[in-house]
Chains A and B, each alone.
Chain A
Amino acid sequence: MLDTLIQAFGLITTWEVIVAMLAASVYGLVIGSLPGLSATMATALLVPVTFYLSPIAAIATIVAASSMAIFSGDIPGALLRIPGTPASAAYADEAYAMTRKGEAELALGAGVWFSAVGGIAGTLSLMILAPPLAEIALSFSTFEYFWLALLGLMCATLVARSSPVKAIAGMFIGLLVSCIGIENPGGVPRFTAGLTDLLGGIEPIPALVGVFAVAQVMRAMLTPEPPPIPRRKFGSILAGQWTLTKKYNWQMWRGNIIGIIIGVLPGAGADMAAWVSYAMSKRFSKQPEKFGTGHVEGLVEAGASNNASVASGWVPSLLFGIPGDTIAAIAIGVLYMKGLNPGPTLFTEKASSMYAIYLLFIIANIMMIPLGIVMIRLASYVLRAPRSTVMPVIMVCCAVGSFAIGNNLFGVVTVAAFGVIGYVMEANGYPVAAMVLGIVMGTMVEQAFVTSLIKSDGSILPFFDRPISAILATMAIGAFVWPVLVWLWRRLKPAATAAATPSR
């Protein structure tokens, strides 16, 4: 064990690995922080570079770039209310509200600090618990995924600040959008209007960029410039994080654990982890009324959760070659290419390489703190820049980013269309985040439901009689019925007391 660890240290302490890792970190931070460019894209664009690197250096670039990009997606979310990734969308409103209150450094500091904590917790779970965690992943069939996706969708109403009815409406618009295309269980083109481009459906990323970034630019053009945030030196970023860690210790651990579990389940990933954790944080908070007004509690939990899921998402990838999310899918390709074929033998025969990968994760998460602070300081100049210079730059980033996804003009059109949709929705009080959640989860809900019914020959019994499925079903139905019961109880209680009074 110690020998392998020393060997692993030897593998990563070469100039090639160190330089590759630093360069990839900076690259990941920059790409992730630009609105319209995503963490997945940052990773995909690195693949050709990994051709020329040694195996460990190649993995180092992927690990460093993806961890950094997921965190730095929080930066435009907090400063401009434009989340960089769907994972940041859950709490972008909250972080922006903190910035408006003059607490940008606390919001971003919490982002970088709890991202690093979550990332390290996820890595430890990967090191210590990989085999039992993998067993969890392999006990999930489509029946369980259906309930899980349904629980994810329910978070839309919990997270939203607006009326639950409008949140549900927003989510349904998202579900409708996810119906577009041929990528459905039946393999039948739906709502494509005969357009080839629509066959592939609407991806969550262009929709996200449209409803947040483009709509934000449109609003900026129509509203007078808000009173500038008082010009002052950006305070210490790490100060106060330790206090937060102690104050929200339990929330942080809950975020880590939820993130690790959701990350291990292939197909769920960081997006769902952030949503579920943010919703849980609000649900179980002592001060739920503060959520949405610039309250850091949800950021702590969700920030820890999404980075924990990034590391634990490697468990099914490394053991079975099953990607936990799109980034892991790319990483698996690189692993194969470099002769580090996923499978249990990787943990035994190539143990030193495995330990090197663990170490890379830990180093990447530690490096995230100083590099992230530098990035936050640089990005904070955006707050001082006049809006008339910032908005056109965002627009250019959106156009370039959406084109670069598929070298296809259709992406740009999609972003523009969702900009208009997002603007109209927000102007009428419908939360766009709920719609994004609908698009992310829609395909999963449908796929899981239809394929489950095919497998059970149309019987819905297996949704309830498989053990894990039954637990998830209880949770999902409980989450649905609970508010109704509370409402009924409140309605009936005054009547009961009223009826009781005369007899006294």
Chain B
Amino acid sequence: MSKITRRAFAASTAAAAAVAGLGLKPASAQAYPARPVTVIVPWGAGGGTDATARIVAALLEKDLGQPFNVVNRTGGSGVVGHSAIATAAPDGYTIGMLTVEISMMHWQGLTELDPKSYTPLALMNEDPPGIQVSSTSPYKTVKELADAIKAAAPGKFKASGTGQGGIWHLALVGWMQAMGLPANQVAWVPSNGAAPAMQDLAAGGLDLTTCSLPEARAIIEAGKARSLAVMAPARNKIFPDVPTLKESMGIDYATGAWRGIAGPKGLPADVATKLTASLKKVFDSAEFKDFMSNRGFGTVWGNATEFAAFMDKGDAAMGVAMKAAGLAKA
């Protein structure tokens, strides 16, 4: 082999640089996403939020041609994952799934983060609470139950569905307020989620639960409980016989647990537009619809501006309910 001359070395270096430059140029101008995207989920693997995020990520990957990797950042009751989304670099390569807790935790003083800390991309799901009683309960309609609650001493009726200050607790508080009753008219029995609450309802330890219909579904279908109403604008597809609060009592109160996709604040407009458009395709796909209806999850679409407005409205309503229940930090 001949020795490498200085000229040849310079030439080859220049050539290499040119190739590299040529190679790089299209890459940097290449449309988003040019490399894998991380999708942060603030809750553990195997849960409902995780499952929803994974199906969304799989379909985004199919549409945009880059891997969308789901990463569960758990801890701190959701605070850790939510702040990981908010503090990521706003380049579109880290996005995440927000849950209803983001409009609640800051009122409790657990974090500074609120819905304004993000670039909203799309709302994908909302599950409204139902009002369930045991199958042995004397109340056949929500009106009968409400009248009994009104007539009873505060705290006589016991309800559950989640922990103290959780979304279903606030749904109950909101319902009480909508009827002009004090927030503590029904005593809240904190539970470790909806499933133990439904079990305790069937075991006769509670008067009612206010968790979502998908969470209550198996026990209702087992004939151990029945749902009297949903706190939603429309009836639920799985339980078409369960009326809305407005239909049965004329009370216009609706709330729910929701999930949506967002990025850190300050995401470039073109990236955000592209992601929202792709998320719309995901939302409309048969795979997503099938998946969500199999799990019994509700599908609600909101684009970036609608999602932002939705969160603002929910955030304000949560503030009112949490202050009334004495859960908000002054």
A interface residues with partner B (beta carbon < 8 Å): 43-45, 47-48, 51, 137-143, 181-183, 185-187, 189, 196-200, 266-267, 316, 319-323, 329-330, 333, 336-339, 341-345, 405-408, 410-411, 443, 447, 450-451, 454-455, 457
Contacts and interface: CB of A to CB of B under 8 A. Distances in A.
B54 A197 contact: no
B198 A320 contact: yes
A197 B187 contact: no
Contact of B55 (A51, A186, A455): A51
24 contacts: A44-B44, A51-B55, A51-B58, A141-B205, A182-B110, A186-B164, A196-B111, A200-B74, A200-B76, A266-B195, A330-B46, A333-B295, A337-B291, A343-B217, A343-B222, A344-B221, A345-B221, A406-B73, A406-B75, A407-B72, A407-B74, A408-B80, A410-B80, A455-B189
Given A196-B83, A329-B47, A407-B71, 19 more contacts: A43-B46, A44-B46, A138-B202, A187-B190, A200-B80, A319-B218, A320-B202, A320-B222, A321-B219, A329-B195, A330-B45, A337-B51, A343-B221, A344-B222, A406-B75, A406-B80, A410-B75, A410-B80, A454-B158
Contacts of A320: 198-199, 202, 218-219, 222, 224
B237 to A, nearest CB: 14
B195 A322 contact: yes
Contacts of B196: 266-267, 322
Interface string B98-135: 00000000001011000000000000000000000000
B18 to A, nearest CB: 41
Nearest to B162: A187
B294 A405 contact: no
Q: Give the interface centre of A140, A142, A189, A447 by most chain B CB atoms within 10 Å.
A: A142
B36 interface: no
Interface in B183-197: 187-192, 195-196
A454 to B, nearest CB: 5
Contacts, number: 167
B51 A200 contact: no
Given A321-B217, A336-B294, A408-B73, A140 B203 contact: yes
7 tightest CB-CB pairs across the interface, nearest first? A321-B218, A187-B164, A330-B46, A141-B205, A406-B74, A44-B45, A199-B76
A47 B199 contact: no
Nearest to A330: B46
Nearest to B160: A451
Interface in B48-99: 48, 50-51, 54-55, 58, 70-77, 79-80, 83
Interface residues on B, range: 35 or more
Contacts of B296: 336, 341
Nearest to B205: A141
A330 B72 CA distance: 15
B155 interface: yes
Given A48-B70, A406-B74, A138 B44 contact: no
Interface string B21-49: 00000000000000000000000111110
Nearest to B111: A196
B266 interface: no
A45 B187 CA distance: 39
B104 to A, nearest CB: 11
B199 A316 contact: yes
A502 to B, nearest CB: 60
A141 B158 contact: no
Contacts of A197: 75-76, 80
A338 B79 CA distance: 31
Contacts of A454: 158, 187-190
B217 A322 contact: no
B189 A189 contact: no
A24 B200 CA distance: 35
A344 B221 CA distance: 7
A189 B109 CA distance: 10
Given A267-B192, A345-B221, A137 B199 contact: yes
A199 B205 contact: no
Interface string B280-294: 000000000001001
B268 interface: no
B72 A183 contact: no
Q: Give the interface centre of A181, A187, A316 by most chain B CB atoms within 10 Å.
A: A187
Contact of A319 (B44, B75, B192, B222): B222
Contacts of B200: 141-142
Contacts of A47: 45-46, 50-51, 54
A423 B190 CA distance: 36
A60 B294 CA distance: 19
B208 interface: no
Given A197-B80, A406-B74, A266 B189 contact: no
Contacts of B295: 333, 336-337
B260 to A, nearest CB: 20
Q: Give the interface centre of B111, B205, B206 by most chain A CB atoms within 10 Å.
A: B205
Nearest to A411: B75
Given A45-B45, A344-B222, A454-B158, A182 B77 contact: yes
A411 B73 CA distance: 11
A457 B155 contact: yes
Given A44-B44, A322-B198, A455 B76 contact: no
A344 to B, nearest CB: 5
A191 to B, nearest CB: 14
Contacts of B158: 454-455
A408 B189 contact: no
A196 B72 contact: no
Contact of B110 (A189, A330, A336, A406): A189
A447 B217 contact: no
A321 B202 CA distance: 13
A451 B189 contact: yes
B19 to A, nearest CB: 37
Nearest to A199: B76
A138 B199 contact: yes
B182 interface: no
B149 interface: no
B73 A338 contact: no
Nearest to A47: B46
